[in-house]
Amino acid sequence: MTIEFENEQDQVFDFDFEKLALQVMEAVLDQEHCPYEAQISLVLTDDETIHQTNLEFRNIDRPTDVLSFPMVDFPAPADYTVLEEDETCFHPDSGELMLGDIMISIPRAVEQAEAYGHSIKREYAFLIAHSMLHLLGYDHMDEDERKIMEDKQEQALQYLQIFRN
């Protein structure tokens, strides 16, 4: 797996952002039985930058915690059969599946961790798991989809022993 990691913000914590991201990404890919090595871009940023990106790409004029930009249009969540006939989803040099981009507002993650009463590490891991599921075609537009995503997010975090405090 390759993470194209970019840290555009100044917050420092007692855990390794990149290492934890890799662990969560791999846990979600394993959980979802992804048969390919993957490439993901991860940008850690601030509220202003994510606000502008949210406005530009989603026409929503406010900051958010995480944005996901999938590169694959899965016909159903984690249905990898679509990839068998589309070589454009794979990096020409590495052969890795290009899943997409994740952008996280670290100030928003800190704020949410405090609001939910758990660690910043847990919130950050949750946002990665949540976004990875979006990259794999999951959504939460209705109650059933929301419940499935919540269960899958929690399963990945439990596997990594990242619990709510």
- Are the C-beta atoms of 63 and 48 separated by less than 8 Å? yes
- Please check whether residue 87 lies inside any domain of the structure: yes
Q: Quickly state the pLDDT bin for 143 (edges 50, 70, 90).
A: very high
Spatial separation of the C-alpha atoms in residues 111 and 116, rounded to whole Å: 9
- Tell me the C-alpha distance between 165 and 158, whole Å: 13
**Three-state SS at 97:** strand
Q: pTM for this structure?
A: 0.95
Nearest to 11 by CA among 123, 156, 162: 123
CATH number of the domain to which 20 belongs: 3.40.390.30
Query: Is 91 a member of any domain?
Result: yes
32: which 2 tokens? 């979802």
Tell me the pLDDT tens digit for each residue of 87-116: 899 999 999 999 999 999 999 999 999 999
CA distance 79 to 133: 12
| CA atoms in the 13 A half-sphere facing the CB of 45 | 20
What is the Cα–Cα distance from 134 to 32, expressed in whole angstroms?
A: 12
Chain-centroid distance, C-alpha 118: 19
In a domain, 88, yes or no: yes
> Is residue 164 in a domain?
no
Q: Is residue 65 over pLDDT 90?
A: yes
Is 165 within the bounds of a domain? Answer: no
Cβ proximity of 65 and 83 under 8 Å: no
Would 93 be classed as within a structural domain? yes
Which strands sit side by side in the sheet containing 2-7, from one edge to the other? 2-7, 38-45, 97-105, 66-70
Of the pLDDT bands very low, low, confident and very high (cuts 50, 70, 90), residue 16 is: very high
In this prediction, residue 40 has a pLDDT band, given cuts at 50, 70 and 90, of: very high
Number of domains in the chain: 1
Nearest to 108 by CA among 163, 40, 53: 53
Range of the domain at 130: 2-159
In a domain, 41, yes or no: yes
Task: Answer yes or no: is 18 within a domain.
Answer: yes
DSSP label at 140?
-
